[in-house]
């Protein structure tokens, strides 16, 4: 469906599952309707033990659906999954959370979640022991890794009469999390629409012989997070990826490259049509002078490898740039010294340089988190930010867009 249409219609698909908190979905429906959302309710069979179906239909103005059968030829679960501005599961039972994490699709709601392209949020509601169980924790972390957002439960009295954490979050908290998600999506859809973003990610492998190579510890997570963020914000994304163990981001034009030379060739091919270049790849500075075509056997002697410098791809891309292109480089350092970083930025000829300290524990290569020091060409910007690579990706793209706006203003002055 056309994204603008999706925005205008403001459809929320409210999934209700089997928990005593299901009756509170009525308050949610009323609040969403007051805020001019069109609310479509899909309930599981068990939810209907707690949710008064007819009341939910009167409040929402739509029929409450439970089964994929009998929806008629016009409505399929795929359409339902895609037309919503967001899918909110409230309450989400332990059973339903497990289903989503396992990718099961044995009723209408779980099928919709599996086919969804809209953002999914869920508000768990269950006994504290169930919430704390390792199975639930594992399922929650799987959903988190897929960017399915949890609205955490609160402490309070539970259905069993005990007290603990497991009560569904308050209606206001759920509503503001939902609004934030819809607002972010709307914002993201607009700001890179029509732009082409070229991103490099991951390590390079320089061959020694058919078995061995020189590589590095880059996981590609930062570059892939940048690609995902740019796609969500409407960009046309080409991702030049070194060898990594990550699934290709949905919607990216992915091009694999193994060596620095291959990466150079692919980047130069795609660079002329790019508006923005982000070089997050950890490109090997050195390659073997001559690689062996057969496996080198050991012979009881020392083995000296002759290495030569690889071309500096970023430097030559920046030299070949045309007006209007914005370039962000990365710097993997073991210590962040501002003066050295500023020199590197100027040497490479980039607009922005995102430096990370790879020796810090809990950030850098392989980690889901990072700490980045971002500087710009004029020395005006020097900001440090820590967080999940996904959030840092959004932040870096915000900074690129800000830089482009400023550059445009300067050109017009
Ligand atoms: N880079 C590149 N070509 C290379 C090496 C690095 O295009 N042969 C790019 C990286 O993708 C990154 C930036 O240059 O965006 C900085 O990489 P980094 O390894 O920090 O810098 P180097 O140029 O290798 O400098 P040094 O290792 O001496 O600090």
Q: Which atom of ligand 1 is found nearest the CA of 313?
A: 7
Question: Quick one: average pLDDT of 20-31?
Answer: 94
| Ligand 1 center from residue 358 Cα (angstroms) | 14
Query: Which of 84-93, 97-106, 240-249, 364-373 has the lowest average pLDDT?
Result: 364-373
Q: What angle do CA 44, 46, 48 make, to 5 degrees?
A: 80
Q: Which atom of ligand 1 is found nearest the CA of 329?
A: 15
Pairing, β 326-333 against β 352-357: parallel
**Whether 108 contacts 67, CB under 8 Å:** yes
Residue in 215, 266, 313, 314 to alter for ligand 1 test, most ligand atoms within 8 A of Cβ: 314
Please provide the size of the chain in residues: 413
Lookup: tokens for 317: 């891309």
CA–CA separation, 208 and 284 (whole Å): 13
CA–CA separation, 291 and 99 (whole Å): 49
What confidence tier does 3 reach under pLDDT thresholds 50, 70, 90? very low
Question: Quick one: average pLDDT of 217-240?
Answer: 94
Query: Which pLDDT score, from 0 to 100, does residue 141 have?
Result: 92
Domains in the chain, ordered, with CATH? 9-188 (3.40.50.1950), 196-412 (3.40.50.10300)
More confident of the two residues 310 and 366: 310
Query: Which pLDDT score, from 0 to 100, does residue 75 have?
Result: 57
pLDDT tens per residue, range 156-181: 888 888 888 999 999 988 998 998 88
| Ligand 1 center from residue 251 Cα (angstroms) | 28
| Ligand 1 center from residue 34 Cα (angstroms) | 53
10 Å CB burial of residue 95 (0-12, 13-18, 19+) is middle
Whether residue 72 has pLDDT greater than 80: no
Q: What angle do CA 93, 99, 104 make, to 5 degrees?
A: 150
What confidence tier does 7 reach under pLDDT thresholds 50, 70, 90? very low
In SS3 terms, 196-256 reads as EEEEEECECCEECCCCCEECCCCCCHHHHHHHHHHHHCCCEEEEEECCCCCCCCCCCEEEE
Name 206's bridge partners: 214
Ligand 1 site: residues with CB under 6 angstroms? 260, 279, 281, 283, 285, 310, 312-314, 329-332
């Amino acid at each position: 469906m056309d994204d603008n249409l999706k925005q205008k219609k403001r459809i929320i698909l409210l999934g209700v599952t089997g928990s005593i908190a299901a009756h509170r979905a009525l308050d949610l429906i009323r609040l969403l309707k007051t805020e001019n959302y069109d609310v479509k309710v899909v309930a599981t069979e068990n939810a209907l033990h707690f949710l008064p179906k007819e009341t939910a239909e009167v409040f929402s103005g739509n029929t409450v659906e439970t089964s994929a059968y009998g929806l008629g030829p016009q409505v399929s679960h795929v359409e339902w999954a895609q037309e919503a501005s967001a899918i909110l599961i409230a309450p989400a039972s332990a059973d339903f959370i497990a289903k989503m994490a396992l990718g099961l699709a044995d009723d209408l709601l779980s099928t919709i979640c599996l086919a969804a392209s809209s953002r999914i949020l869920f508000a768990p509601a269950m006994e504290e022991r169930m919430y704390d169980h390792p199975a639930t924790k594992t399922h929650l972390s799987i959903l988190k890794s897929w960017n399915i957002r949890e609205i955490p439960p609160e402490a309070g009295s539970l259905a069993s009469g005990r007290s603990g954490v497991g009560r569904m979050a308050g209606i206001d908290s759920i509503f503001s999390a939902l609004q934030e998600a819809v607002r972010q999506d709307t914002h993201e859809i607009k700001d890179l629409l029509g732009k082409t973003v070229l991103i490099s990610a991951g390590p390079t492998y320089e061959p020694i012989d058919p078995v061995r190579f020189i590589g590095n510890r880059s996981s590609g997570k930062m570059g892939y997070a940048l690609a995902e963020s740019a796609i969500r914000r409407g960009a046309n994304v080409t991702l030049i990826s070194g060898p990594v163990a990550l699934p290709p981001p949905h919607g990216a034009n992915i091009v694999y490259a193994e060596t620095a030379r291959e990466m150079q060739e692919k980047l130069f091919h795609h660079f002329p049509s790019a508006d923005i270049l982000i070089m997050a790849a950890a490109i090997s500075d050195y390659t073997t002078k001559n690689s062996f075509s057969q496996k080198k056997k050991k012979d009881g002697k020392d083995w000296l490898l002759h290495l030569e410098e690889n071309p500096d791809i970023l430097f030559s891309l920046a030299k070949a740039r045309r007006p209007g292109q914005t370039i962000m480089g990365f710097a993997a350092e073991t210590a962040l010294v501002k003066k050295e970083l500023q020199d590197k930025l100027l040497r490479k000829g980039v607009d922005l340089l995102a430096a990370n300290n790879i020796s810090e524990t809990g950030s850098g290569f392989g980690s889901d988190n990072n700490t980045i020091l971002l500087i710009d060409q004029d020395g005006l910007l020097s900001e440090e930010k820590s967080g999940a690579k996904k959030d840092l990706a959004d932040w870096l793209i915000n900074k690129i867009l800000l830089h482009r706006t400023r550059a445009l203003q300067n050109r017009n002055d």
